[in-house]
Structure 1
């Protein structure tokens, strides 16, 4: 999850106009301008008219689905990591399905506003949503109430990516590795770490790091990722467990130092940066993004969505773009396996949140 914004925006990945489902009560009053990259109308017509070309190996679902525009709700802001992942993958999914897919950004309340809209949409296959560690695993443990039930109100489609974070500190900080950072932090009564909000992968990585090292670390939530990064560079924040794409260029420019990555393996973008486990802190903390729909979407449609998503993520061009973003492309073998993955994440973070006492209310 990335920084929140009060403006919602939509982007047409191909062409055509979005068929929007009636918004929930919390829908922002204004939508961003619809942006339309060049896309051949003749090719679009050909794909729609000849399913065998648009859907190699993917049979059309019942009722000729998809017969019109599909809306993909991103519960975060335009330009955030989830937004970028969704655009990369859904562009290819739309080509495979032979239909327009628009990305509809509905940020707010730690992803709860956007995901409530997904849950409340008609189960007809024309609304999809961006599942995440926040909405589909953690928020139920840190919010007193949610406008949806993470298990009951969604149907699982597939995982898309794992998103490790990168531990960064100000360039001026007298610590060149994780061990030196821990020693530095122990000399102070308390240090703070920023994130883009309670329940975000950045927040959870900080919670795990504090629990594992015994450090007194105070969480400072931000609503703007740019300000979060600026405060770190200027030394007003001590450490971040930030999205790789959000800080990669600043690390390369020497404006901040990368000490470790939070995932299970080193990143190709930063091969010299060790994992936390390699650095002596026995934890992994990885964000992720996937695809869900409202509950009760017909199984043939869900199966077609799953197959298109898996095929898209296997595409070499898609994989290259995702890897450059700092993501690890990872689809689910089946819809059931993605549902099981989300359940495992839910139980894992229940215990972590309980131990930390973290709350968003």
Structure 2
């Protein structure tokens, strides 16, 4: 038998394999899309780029962050849910997308439990209560007194219906009896400008979006809307410390479309957990105003289910709704 004939026969079994088996390549072999369903410049955008960069280094592929804001995160997370379950699209899950929205929207475009697979938690995102520098209040109780004397509702903005910013403000209004009007924004920068120029009265804003302006005196921080003080503003009391029991805080984690193969989910889980152990990344997350909080897949799935029940109770109590 000639050497050419022998090579053809040896190659025959491989050629006879099904096309799907021959085409299957190790994952990942191309860039991964990370959808941030919030606005550019917000806390979710900052975390997506910080963590996405490190995740890409761990996986050996570029992670490309795509901002898809709108409808209180529903636009971006719908894109995630409807993506091919091949591990090449992931999304930033949040208190809005996976806890609050199903209680706020009559017709959700996705099921937050059935249409996603949890990958892992990344961080808690406390909000800071900031007011325009030209108004007199210096603390939360002073602001409450000022607001009650206005003779009109308060105007506040948030990154969207169902966000921790929206729900914290709704709780504040329900507890204090102050009427507040919500204006959702797709641009964190425009929302901050409107506060500084007095078109908004208060923001329950992510620390990463306003820390520089607050420290420069362009807006005045008066409280933290979370259960604990934050490293970025260690002397700033929480709302609870100032007599208003609002402890709603944001959080972010990574989710994939339902149906992603188990080996890919396991590798994503391992890579994300390894990223979250990196001291430099954790320091950068803290510097951005968030609190690193790692949870693996199963724990994060339980956390999101618990948060959904908690947000449902808050939304029913406050009467918050979409539209």
The structural deviation recorded for 1:105 is 2.0
In the alignment, structure 1 residue 100 sits paired with structure 2 residue 62 = yes
1:175-190 equivalences in 2 (<5 Å): 175-189=137-151, 190=153
**Mapped partners of 1:80, 1:232: distance in 2:** 16
CA distance in 1: counterparts of 2:105 and 2:292, whole angstroms: 30
SS at match of 1:103: strand
1:207 correspondence with 2:170: yes
Answer yes or no: is 1:196 the counterpart of 2:159: yes
Aligned to 2:130: 168
Counterparts of residues 136-151 of structure 1 (less than 5 Å): 136-151=98-113
Structure possessing the higher relative contact order (Cα contacts under 8 Å, 6 or more residues apart): 2
1:75 and 2:37 are equivalent in the alignment: yes
- Note if 1:329 corresponds to 2:259: no
CA distance in 2: counterparts of 1:320 and 1:106, whole angstroms? 27
SS in 2 for 1:64: coil
The within-5 A match list for 1:173-322 is: 173-189=135-151, 190-322=153-285
Pick the structure with more helix per residue: 2
Looking at structure 2, the residues matched to 122 and 220 of structure 1 have their Cα atoms a distance apart, in angstroms, of 34
- The 1:141/1:281 distance shift into structure 2, 3 A limit, reads same
Instruction: Flag the 1:223–1:68 CA change in 2: closer, same or farther, 3 A.
Output: closer
Q: Deviations over 1:314-355 (max 9, x none)?
A: 1011011111110001110x3111011111111111122222
Q: Deviations over 1:292-329 (max 9, x none)?
A: 00001122211111111111011011011111110001
Q: How many residues align?
A: 299
Does the 8 Å CA contact 2:69/2:186 hold for their aligned counterparts? no
8 Å Cα contact 2:41-2:189 kept in structure 1: no
Query: Does the CA contact (< 8 Å) of 2:91 and 2:254 recur in 1?
Result: yes
Mapped partners of 2:181, 2:38: distance in 1: 24
Q: CA deviation at 1:177?
A: 0.8
- Distance, in Å, in 2 between the alignment partners of 1:88 and 1:223 is 21
Give distance in 1, aligned partners of 2:218 and 2:31: 43
Q: TM-score, normalised by structure 1?
A: 0.79
- Alpha-carbon RMSD across the aligned residues, in angstroms, is 1.7
8 Å Cα contact 2:70/2:160 also seen in 1: no
Report if the CA contact (8 A) 2:40-2:188 is conserved: no
TM-score normalised by L of structure 2: 0.88
CA distance 1:282–1:356, change in 2 (3 Å): closer
Cα pair 2:104 2:322 within 8 Å, conserved: yes
Q: Name which one, 1 or 2, has greater alpha-carbon Rg.
A: 2
Is there any run of 5+ residues in structure 2 with no aligned partner, and where?
1-23
**Residue segments in structure 1 that go unaligned for 5+ positions in a row:** 1-61
